[in-house]
């Protein structure tokens, strides 16, 4: 059996080069996935354009994979060879090319691998892994919003707590809404006008047009009578921060952000940007609750939907570069997926 990958050969290497890659082997607590679909995220083309994050070259990027279990390491009991799964690939955390998603076989930390139900195809499943880890880190880590974790995928009782998800139609935002609502928290969000109904369908109690001149006041009114935990910032631009800061000034709370805010944070606010792989590493208590328990149940019951859905590019690994280029142009309520 041989493996191939779409390699980034050097800093700012463009285009990606498809060539042979070592065949990974599962060690203790690891799983090798034979990939059927891989999703593209903004971080991928940013690495290529700006030469950031990777400490070692040549390397293999890609964080979202879906496929079948090929090899299972010692101590792994929740999946077996041949199972259909999705997984969060970690090469950005480890700089180990074997753990990159853009190859035929990917080595994954077993904690961030979950079975997928028969009704969920690989292309759709691949949109979720990074979003699950990132949203979980924003919502549940002690350093971010510290919200109570979900305990079951059945309809939860209300916690009395609330959260503002800024960017509800993004991949992380859509998953954050489902996770927070699935833990019993009231969710208010924002989106483009044409995506408001789609975001509301994910479980948000109220969704507002982010361009509305009264968006901050509307959000504050919608959160009345709840214990406001804070803001899950899934956009993390200076403009986004400027837009949600008035909500904090009125209601308090904390924040968790998909990227660190280097300046402009409201005085006194506590929180941080997140590192998604931490849910399986330093913050394993989050990964255990979300990936280990909630995700498999929620996928099976339909409480977790694979949205925004896949915008599929065919052609295998040689089309990953095209995926980068398409993602860079922007996609509304969709996620670029390369079918292998």
Q: Which phi-psi region, left, alpha or beta, contains residue 176 (left: φ > 0; alpha: ψ -120 to 50)?
A: alpha
| Short-list 90, 36, 25, CA closest to 67 | 36
pLDDT tens-digit series, residues 148-168: 999 876 778 899 999 999 999
- State the pairing for strand pair 335-339/30-39: antiparallel
Domains of the chain, CATH where assigned:
3-128+306-339 (3.90.180.10), 133-278 (3.40.50.720)
Would you call 272 exposed, middle or buried from its count of C-beta atoms within 10 A (0-12, 13-18, 19+)? middle
Residues 6+ apart with CB under 8 A from 84: 66, 67, 68, 115, 116, 118, 122, 125
Peptide bond into 228 cis (omega under 30): no
Q: In this structure, are residues 182 and 203 in contact, taking their beta carbons and an 8 Å threshold?
A: yes
Q: What percent of the chain has pLDDT over 70?
A: 100
Q: Which phi-psi region, left, alpha or beta, contains residue 291 (left: φ > 0; alpha: ψ -120 to 50)?
A: alpha
User: CA dist 2 to 5, 8, 34, 63, 315, Å?
Assistant: 10, 19, 11, 21, 18
Q: Which phi-psi region, left, alpha or beta, contains residue 196 (left: φ > 0; alpha: ψ -120 to 50)?
A: alpha
pLDDT tens-digit series, residues 88-118: 999 999 999 999 999 999 999 999 999 999 9
Cα angle 44, 306, 277; round to 5? 45
One pLDDT digit (tens) per residue for the chain, 340 residues: 799 999 999 999 999 999 999 999 999 999 999 999 999 999 999 999 999 999 999 999 999 999 999 999 999 999 999 999 999 999 999 999 999 999 999 999 999 999 999 999 999 999 999 999 999 999 999 999 999 999 876 778 899 999 999 999 999 999 999 999 999 999 999 999 999 999 999 999 999 999 999 999 999 999 999 999 999 999 999 999 999 999 999 999 999 999 999 899 999 999 999 999 999 999 999 999 999 999 999 999 999 999 999 999 999 999 999 999 999 999 999 999 999 9
Residues 6+ apart with CB under 8 A from 27: 73, 74
pLDDT tens-digit series, residues 159-200: 999 999 999 999 999 999 999 999 999 999 999 999 999 999
C-alpha–C-alpha distance, residues 172 and 134, integer Å: 7
């Amino acid at each position: 059996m041989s493996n191939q990958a779409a390699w980034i050969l050097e800093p700012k290497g463009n285009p990606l080069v498809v060539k042979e890659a070592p065949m990974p082997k599962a060690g203790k607590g690891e799983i090798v996935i034979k990939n059927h679909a891989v999703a593209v995220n903004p971080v991928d083309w940013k690495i290529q354009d700006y030469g950031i994050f990777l400490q070692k070259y040549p390397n293999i990027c890609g964080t979202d994979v879906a496929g079948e279990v090929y090899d299972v390491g010692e101590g792994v009991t929740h999946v077996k060879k041949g199972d259909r799964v999705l997984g969060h690939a970690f090469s950005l955390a480890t700089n180990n090319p074997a753990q990159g998603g853009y190859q035929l076989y990917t080595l994954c930390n077993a904690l961030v691998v979950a079975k997928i139900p028969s009704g969920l195809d690989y292309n759709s499943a691949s949109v979720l892994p990074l979003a699950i880890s990132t949203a979980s880190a924003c919502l549940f880590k002690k350093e971010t919003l510290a919200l109570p974790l979900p305990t079951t995928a059945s309809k939860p009782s209300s916690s009395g707590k609330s959260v503002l998800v800024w960017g509800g139609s993004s991949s992380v935002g859509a998953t954050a809404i489902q996770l927070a609502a699935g833990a019993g928290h009231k969710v208010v969000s924002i989106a483009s006008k044409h995506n408001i109904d789609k975001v509301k369908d994910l479980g948000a109690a109220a969704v507002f047009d982010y361009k509305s001149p009264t968006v901050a006041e509307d959000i504050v009114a919608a959160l009345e009578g709840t214990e406001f935990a804070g803001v899950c910032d899934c956009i993390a631009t200076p403009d986004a921060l400027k837009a949600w800061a008035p909500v904090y000034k009125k209601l308090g709370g904390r924040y968790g952000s998909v990227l660190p805010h280097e300046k402009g944070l409201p005085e006194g606010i506590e929180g941080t940007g997140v590192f998604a792989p931490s849910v399986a590493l330093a913050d394993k208590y989050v990964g255990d609750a979300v990936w280990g328990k909630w995700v498999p149940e929620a996928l099976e019951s339909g409480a977790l939907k694979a949205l925004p859905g896949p915008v599929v590019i065919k052609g295998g690994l040689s089309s990953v570069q095209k995926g980068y280029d398409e993602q860079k142009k922007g996609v509304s309520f969709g996620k670029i997926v390369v079918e292998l």
